[in-house]
Structure 1
């Protein structure tokens, strides 16, 4: 491999890692902004998605469940300290530390809110020049309860 080829390879890796970081940032933002169709579009059509031991049938099913579960409740999702490795010309893997805060309107049978901590382990594929999530495994290490709120107070 020539010096120029090596520079091009390294530049592509840097650009790919930055694109994957932006992809994951959109994932968190779309969850919090309730943009469920856009969230589903961040995945390959046959992505494997597992959260807290639940395997989802498709990206659309995953996004629809998030919509149904958290509705209009305010949420805050953060990803930190990405470890991204380019594993092939159009393939990569990543590990992200995460924190999420969910609170729900108070009421009978309201789910309990939480401040959760854990880790995402993901793989990515570049499809048509665009990086997408091909697999996602979310494992929570800790969940601290949060009180629900009264939107009328």
Structure 2
């Protein structure tokens, strides 16, 4: 490999890592902005999605479940300290530390809110020049309960 080929390869690795970081940022943003169709589109059609030991049949089922579970409840998801490795021309792996906050409108049947901490382990695949999530395993290390909120007391 000559010097120019090496520079081109290294540039592709850097651009790929940056694209994967943006992909994961969109994942968190789409969950919080309730953009569930956009969320499902971040995955390969046959992606494996496992969260807290639950395996989802498809990325769409995963996104629809988030929509149905959280409704308009406010949430805040963050990913930290990405460790991304390009494993082939169109494949990569990643590990992310995560933190999330989720509360529900207060009521007799409201699920309990939480402040969670954990880790995402993922694989990515470049399809038609675009990086997508090919598999995700979310493991939570800790979940602290949060009080639910009363929407009528929230300032607009």
Q: TM-score range by the shorter chain?
A: over 0.9
Which residue in the other structure is 2:36 paired with?
Answer: 36
Task: Compute the displacement of 1:109 (Å).
Answer: 1.2
Residue 47 of structure 2 aligns with which residue? 47
> What residue ranges of structure 2 are gaps of 5+ in the alignment?
none
Give the equivalent residue in structure 2 for 1:111.
Answer: 111
TM-score normalised to structure 2 length: 0.97
Residue 94 of structure 2: aligned partner: 94
1:108 deviation in Å? 0.7
Partner of 2:76: 76
Aligned to 2:66: 66
Cα distance in 2 for residues equivalent to 1:151 and 1:27: 25
Task: Return the offset for 1:4.
Answer: 0.6
Please state how far the C-alpha of 1:137 moved relative to its aligned partner.
0.2
Q: RMSD over aligned Cα, in angstroms?
A: 0.4
**Cα distance per residue 1:103-130 (max 9 Å; x no partner):** 0000011000000000000000000000
Partner of 1:7: 7
TM-score w.r.t. the length of structure 1 is 0.99
Deviation at 1:152, TM superposition (A): 1.6
Structure 1 residue aligned with 2:139: 139
Structure 1 stretches of 4+ with a deviation exceeding 4 A read none
Q: Which residue of 2 aligns with 1:21?
A: 21
How many residues are treated as equivalent by the alignment? 153
**Matched residues in 1 for 2:64 and 2:15: separation?**
31
| CA distance in structure 1 between the aligned counterparts of 2:55 and 2:122, rounded to whole angstroms | 14
